[in-house]
């Protein structure tokens, strides 16, 4: 497999999607609801179309799993796409959003690309090659304890169905750490763990396109990623805990209910 070609095309696809997001930011004509608070815009749809077109031109035999258009093809080589992670932020003109693209072989993530176009930050990782931010190597923080850490979490669209445990974990995090933030874009949360801005992240009820690329970026930056039980993370899981490693066991204990 030509991973250099994967990197080139994945990067081009992320920037093509990001260009469309920049064009639409602050200029949305309509916002549609997929659920009570789950939004989709013309920017999501156009970005996804541009990303898929870029990938298929170079890899017509590869499969696609995309947030808006679903599954295309059945190859073991698959691209996992979130064309706009942070749609609610985007719809409210908050510039915390990104394009997230992962390349997987038989569900093993081999490359990840996360572009925050308005902040001009591009995170990339290839399995075994480390993680980069705008071309420079990044690594997780050295924060040694949960008490010294800054965490980030997310609230799923169906948060009303798990509200008590959601708030219990959030409250525990506030009491045990320097603080807990909620940015609204899981791919960015994972990349911010990767570059040391946060020491740990957890969230429930996620989809593969939310976490696949960011998971590899965090892992290649030296992070540890599991599910709440401590079992290894996989893209089929709907929950995730990602940390700098040093605070991981402490955070898992805090999340136990």
Could you state, in chain order, the average pLDDT of each consecutive group of 10 residues for the chain (257 residues)?
95 98 84 58 90 97 92 94 94 95 96 98 98 98 98 86 92 98 97 98 95 98 98 93 98 96
Residue extents of the structural domains in the chain: 3-137, 146-255
pLDDT confidence of residue 95: 95
pLDDT confidence of residue 161: 81
pLDDT confidence of residue 28: 72
Fold of 3-137: Fructose-1,6-Bisphosphatase; Chain A, domain 1 (3.30.540)
What's the gap between Cα 24 and its chain centre?
Answer: 21
For residues 96 and 87, give the distance between their C-alpha atoms in angstroms, rounded to a whole number.
Answer: 9
For residues 246 and 146, give the distance between their C-alpha atoms in angstroms, rounded to a whole number.
Answer: 9
Determine whether 197 is exposed, middle or buried from the number of CB atoms within 10 Å of its CB (0-12, 13-18, 19+).
middle
> Do the annotations mark residue 67 as ligand-binding?
yes
> Do the annotations mark residue 84 as ligand-binding?
yes
> Do the annotations mark residue 107 as ligand-binding?
no
CATH architecture of 146-255: 3-Layer(aba) Sandwich (3.40)
> What pTM was computed for the model?
0.94
For residues 88 and 90, give the distance between their C-alpha atoms in angstroms, rounded to a whole number.
Answer: 5
For residues 37 and 101, give the distance between their C-alpha atoms in angstroms, rounded to a whole number.
Answer: 23
> Do the annotations mark residue 210 as ligand-binding?
yes
């Amino acid at each position: 497999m030509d991973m250099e070609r994967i990197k080139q095309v994945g990067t081009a696809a992320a920037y093509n999607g990001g260009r469309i997001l920049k064009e639409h930011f602050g200029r949305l004509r309509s916002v549609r609801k997929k659920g009570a608070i789950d939004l989709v815009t013309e920017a999501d749809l156009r970005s996804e179309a541009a990303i898929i077109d870029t990938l298929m031109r170079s890899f017509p035999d590869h499969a696609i799993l995309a947030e808006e258009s679903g599954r295309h093809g059945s190859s073991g080589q698959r691209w996992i796409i979130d064309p706009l992670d942070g749609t609610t932020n985007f719809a409210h003109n908050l510039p915390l959003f990104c394009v997230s693209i992962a390349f997987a072989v038989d569900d093993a993530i081999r490359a990840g690309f996360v572009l925050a176009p308005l902040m001009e930050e591009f995170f990339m990782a290839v399995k075994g090659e480390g993680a980069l931010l705008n071309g420079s190597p990044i690594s997780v923080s050295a924060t040694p304890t949960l008490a010294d850490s800054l965490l980030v979490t997310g609230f799923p669209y169906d948060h009303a169905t798990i509200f008590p445990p959601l708030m219990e974990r959030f409250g525990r995090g506030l009491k045990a750490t320097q603080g807990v933030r909620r940015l609204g874009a899981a791919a960015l949360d994972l990349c911010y763990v990767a570059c040391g801005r946060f020491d740990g992240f957890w969230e429930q009820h996620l989809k593969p396109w939310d976490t696949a690329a960011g998971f590899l970026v965090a892992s290649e930056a030296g992070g540890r990623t599991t599910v709440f039980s401590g079992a290894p993370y996989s893209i089929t899981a709907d929950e995730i805990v990602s940390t700098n490693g040093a605070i991981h066991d402490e955070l898992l204990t805090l999340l136990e209910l």
